Amino acid sequence: MHKKTIVILILTAVFLCAQENRSKGRFQGFSKGYISGTYNLYPSFISEINDEVKEFGAGSFEESVFLYGGELCGNSNSAFGIGVHYFTGSEQIQKIVEIDSLKLDRSVSYRMSFFGLTVNYRKSLYGAFEYFGSFSGSYGSIELILSQDYGDQSFGDMWDSFDPGSYLYDYNRSANYSSELIVFGVNNGLRMFLSSRIAVGVTVGYTYGFVSDNGEINNEFESIKNVPDLNFEGMNYGLGIYFGY
């Protein structure tokens, strides 16, 4: 909630600043292209694993994730451009739980990142405003890590904890699940020029994420069982700053 409040305040300040530029005439956009940095709220696979995370005793994640990244885009003509982008994000939740009078430090974290291509369309509007739309395809990875600290243990104890017949809470334990990720997205947005070389923009779009069923756990040290369907889709929202060239 705190992150969302910051985004709203930034958007308000940016809009007021752009309004002051309306009297300066109509901008024609960046002549060759731009480099951007963006902050995005994406849908994710978190809703599919929150029940399992709660059972582990570490709490639960928000169902959407914040990703940071940027794009390098070059103009093909006055209306279309082609670019490359990269986004990444991570989060961790942690909690002390007590089982059979033992205090255990448990945590769950995730990381996701992807790199891809974007085709975008743009059209100058009134004053300092420009409409843009885009379609993108990306390839990347996700990683889920569940860990538990039970205190000092020997390497042999850690090794024994991977015995399926042992009790999980008797040992330190870390499980790392990783898989490939393919993402497709469609976005529409409004760019507001602060000068001929700098603009800020907001985007709203829809994202499809496909997570491979051929992931691995602990670098294939163990077999995978009961992994939920991690595909996701939903609305995404973004805030970015653009530097033209």
- Report the chain (245 residues): mean pLDDT per 10 consecutive residues: 57 57 59 92 83 72 87 92 95 75 77 96 86 96 81 57 53 77 96 88 94 79 71 92 92
Q: Residue 128: what pLDDT?
A: 83
Contacts of 214 (CB under 8 A, 6+ apart): 179, 180
Q: Domain-by-domain residue ranges, the chain?
A: 2-244
Torsion sign, CA atoms 84, 75, 189, 134: negative
Element (H, E) at 158: helix 155-160
Q: Residue 63: what pLDDT?
A: 75
Which residue's structure tokens are 């992807």?
Answer: 114
Q: Residue 204: what pLDDT?
A: 95
Q: Residue 131: what pLDDT?
A: 92
Distance CA 159, CA 154 (A): 9
96, exposed or middle or buried, with CB in 10 Å at 0-12, 13-18, 19+? exposed
Domain 2-244, CATH among 2.40.160.20, 2.40.50.90, 3.30.450.20, 3.40.718.10: 2.40.160.20
Q: Pick from 160, 144, 157: which is nearest to 217 by CA?
A: 144
Distance CA 232, CA 155 (A): 38
**Contact (Cβ atoms closer than 8 angstroms) between residue 131 and residue 125:** yes
Distance CA 120, CA 122 (A): 7
Q: Residue 119: what pLDDT?
A: 97
Distance CA 160, CA 41 (A): 41
Q: Residue 64: what pLDDT?
A: 80
Q: Pick from 41, 14, 208: which is nearest to 129 by CA?
A: 14
**CA 19 to chain centroid:** 30
For the record, the structure tokens of 214 come out as: 């051929």
Distance CA 101, CA 96 (A): 12
Q: Residue 141: what pLDDT?
A: 95
**Contact (Cβ atoms closer than 8 angstroms) between residue 134 and residue 187:** yes
Q: Residue 46: what pLDDT?
A: 82
Which residue's structure tokens are 């042992």?
Answer: 166
pTM tops 0.85, yes or no: no
Q: Residue 3: what pLDDT?
A: 57
Q: How many residues does the chain have?
A: 245
